[in-house]
Amino acid sequence: VAVVTLAEAPHLRMVGNLVAGPQAAIDGVDPASLKIGMPLAVTFRRVEDVALPAWVPL
Amino acid sequence: MSLLKDRAAIVGIGQTAFGKALDGTEEALAVAAIKAALDDAGIAPRQVDGLVSFSIEETQPDAVARDLGMGDIGFLAMTPGGGGGACAQIGLGAMAIALGQAEVVVAWRSRKRSAHASRPWAGTQPRVRGREMWIRPSGLIRPVDEIAMLGRRHMALYGTTRDHFANVALAVRAHANRNPLALMGDRMLTREDYFAARAISEPLGLFDCCLETDGAVAAVLTSAERARDSRQKPAYINAFGQGISEGSMSMSNYFGPDPLRGQSWACAEALWRHSDFGPRDVACAQIYDAFTPEVIFSLEGYGFCARGEGGDFTADGALGPGGRLPVNTSGGSLSEAYIHGFNLVSEGVRQIRGTSTSQVPEPHCVFVSSSDGVPTSAILLRS
């Protein structure tokens, strides 16, 4: 789980899961590969009838 | 100038046993602790004219007054909390006494939280709304998850390590090992034990987390004039503060301008403004410790050290018995009992009286704080 600052709107932050790709599992990213400050891209995970934003390390 | 300073004192403290699955309701525990505090003070229930409680306390003030045979009550206050409220109860009671609105005020906290099903997050719904929908779906469900995120940020920004968190846990346990009434009184904790324990929410492990406890603690306050004749040595309320830091959010403080400027920072301004003392004058500190990082955040927020230096401040046994600033000398929430920090208040009073099991030599000024993570409060007690 990460707190993410939006590059396009630095005053906004979101909490979301880190994932390897759009439909990847939420435990699929090695925590040792993560660093605070690293760039991420948004994706959306479908859970029942909602889409939750999640974050893919670049 | 302060109209509050040293005008009221805590003259009675009381508690139940601390344990798991205690007999009796929360109300019965509350009444027992309050009766013990009144007996300690030598004050009859009919002399009580003010009651102060937490917003999440189940035992209502009128029930307390009825159960104990109090007469008419003329002052009531309720403070947000939870973990931010214990010091506020004392401060609000002291204000009422200083202003002449009450003469004898009782404050208490009673909890039966040792059963898993009694914890609020056990009831988390599959669908959450409002502020929670921005936090819970990704897995930040329990308080420990929310604080772990802030702990990780402190590590990344300031080089704080799990060894620093361990310093907090080990120091508090060392105090608890001197207190036969602490839940962990007879259980030793080593650094190896700390690192071998299971993760609860990384980077936090089992020993970074407070106990879950059944029990109750209460305090009795009265005026300085009346306290002079009291049975116990009075613990005067020298200063009191409450705080919500600008732009902050309770527990999940991720979205404001400065996530590591917790609630302590605003409270510190209010606390020190009118006090005779500064952080260097504090003989020992009772710092709210639901999770070890909260102690480090509070050391910074209240000015015991500079921002970012809270980790280093814990080194070399600084917080333990005989250290530079002994912290949570009865064992605190981590190792004595988790009564939403009210046991930190009663331990502050014991230090002033000279009756702590981990007594500091010259307890002229004792600091007590409530949770850094939620709208909070702090008091300074003086002898």
E strand segments, B6-103: 8-15, 50-54, 75-79
Confidence at residue B270, expressed as pLDDT on a 0 to 100 scale:
96
Q: Which residue ranges in chain B fall short of pLDDT 50? A: none
Interface size between A and B, measured as CB pairs under 8 A: 31
- Which residues of B form the catalytic set? 288, 338
Q: What is the pTM of this model?
A: 0.96
Q: Residue B215 in contact with residue B29, Cβ under 8 Å?
A: yes
Is B140's Cβ below 8 Å from some Cβ in A?
Answer: yes
Give the separation between CA B74 and CA B34, rounded to whole angstroms. 18
At residue A27, the pLDDT reads 85
Average pLDDT, chain A: 93
Residues of B in contact with A3 (CB under 8 A): 149, 153, 254, 259
φ, ψ dihedrals at B203, nearest 5°: -85, 15
Q: pLDDT band for position A22 (50/70/90)?
A: confident
Using 50, 70 and 90 to split pLDDT, how confident is the model at A26?
confident
- Span B22-39, pLDDT tens digits: 999 999 999 999 999 999
pLDDT score recorded for residue B118 = 76
Do B371 and B341 touch, CB atoms closer than 8 A? yes
B155: nearest CA partner in chain A: A36
Q: For residue B145, what pLDDT is reported?
A: 98
Q: How close is the nearest chain B Cα to the Cα of A15, in Å?
A: 6
| CB-CB contact of B37 with B220 (8 Å) | yes
Question: Which H/E stretch holds residue A2?
Answer: strand A2-6
Judge whether B259 is closer than 8 Å to chain A, CB to CB.
yes
- Chain B touched by A4 (CB under 8 Å): no
CB contacts of A36 in chain B (<8 Å) are: 152-153, 156
The per-residue pLDDT for A47 is 86
Strand partners, B168: none
| Residue range A32-45: mean pLDDT, rounded | 94
Determine the pLDDT at residue A24: 87
Residues B342-381 have pLDDT tens digits of 999 999 999 999 999 999 999 999 999 999 999 999 999 9
Q: How far is CA B46 from CA A22, A24, B103, in A?
A: 67, 66, 12
The answer to whether the Cβ–Cβ distance between B252 and A15 falls below 8 Å is yes
pLDDT > 70 fraction of chain B, expressed in percent and rounded: 99
- Cα-based distances in Å from B173 to A31, B141, B298, B383: 31, 27, 19, 26
Using CA atoms in the order B128, B134, B137, B142, what is the torsion angle rounded to 10 degrees? Answer: -80
B383 Cα distance to chain centroid: 20
Alpha-carbon span B187 to B210, nearest angstrom: 15
Q: Are strands A9-18 and A50-57 parallel, antiparallel or unpaired?
A: parallel
Q: What is the pLDDT of residue A25?
A: 87
CB contact under 8 A, A1 and B252: no
> What pLDDT is stored for residue B125 in this prediction?
72
